[in-house]
Amino acid sequence: MADTIKNRLAALGVTLPAAPAPAANYVPFAQSGKLILTSGQLPLDQGKLVATGLLGRELDVAAGKEAAKYCAINVLAQLQAATGDLEKIARLVKITVFVASTPDFTEQHLVANGASDFLVEVLGEAGKHARAAVGTASLPLNAPVEVEAISELA
C-alpha cells in the first residue's frame, strides 16, 4: 500500500467529514499565494461538539487532547475542500490552538499535542509545524478547543 495521506487516515480509522460550514460572516479558508489559512475549527464530529466546557474544570487533559484531535480532523477537511487533494499540501507551516480553560490551568501545550501529534501522524514530515497554544476564557458554543492552521501548497 502506498504511503499516502489518504492511506494514513484510513489506517487510523479516520474518514474526513465534509468541511464544516462557517458559523458566522467569514470564509472557512482563504488562500494567499501558496498559503492556505483555515478559520478556527471546533471539535465537531457529525456536526456536534465532542466535548464542551473548560479545561481544568469540566475536562481533563486527555479529553482536551481528544477534542484537539477532532479540531485537526476538521482542519484537514477544510484543506481538502480548499485543494481537492491533501497531497497538494507541501507542509503545514503553523497551527494556533486555543484552549478554553480555568485561570489556573497551565497545560494548554499538552492539550495542543492532540492536534499536533495527529497532524504529524497523518501528514508525515510535512506535518511538522510551528505552534502557539493559548489559554482563553471561553470559545464559541462552549467548545473546549479551537484550532486554526496555515499551510503551504506544493
Cβ-contact 61, 51 below 8 angstroms: no
- pLDDT by residue (tens digit) across 83-108? 999 999 999 999 999 999 999 999 99
Task: Enter the pTM of the model.
Answer: 0.96
Percent of the chain at pLDDT > 70 equals: 99
Mean model confidence pLDDT for the chain: 96
More confident: 23 or 112 = 112
- pLDDT by residue (tens digit) across 69-79? 999 999 999 99
Locate all alpha helices (DSSP H) within the chain, ordered by sequence.
5-11, 61-83, 108-123
108 grid coordinates: 494548554
Radius of gyration of the chain (CA): 15
| pLDDT of 21 over the 90 cut | no
Cβ-contact 143, 49 below 8 angstroms: yes
67 grid coordinates: 477534542
Cβ-contact 131, 109 below 8 angstroms: no
Residue 143: count of CB within 10 angstroms of its CB: 23
pLDDT at 1: 56
Q: Which residue has the cell 473546549?
A: 144
120: confidence class by pLDDT, cuts 50, 70, 90: very high
Strands 48-49 and 44-45: antiparallel
Instruction: Give the right CATH number for 5-14+33-153 from 3.30.420.40, 3.30.70.20, 2.40.50.140, 3.30.1330.40.
Output: 3.30.1330.40
Cβ-contact 29, 81 below 8 angstroms: yes
How far apart are the C-alpha atoms of 152 and 139, rounded to whole Å?
Answer: 27
How far apart are the C-alpha atoms of 139 and 125, rounded to whole Å?
Answer: 31
Span 41-61, average pLDDT: 97
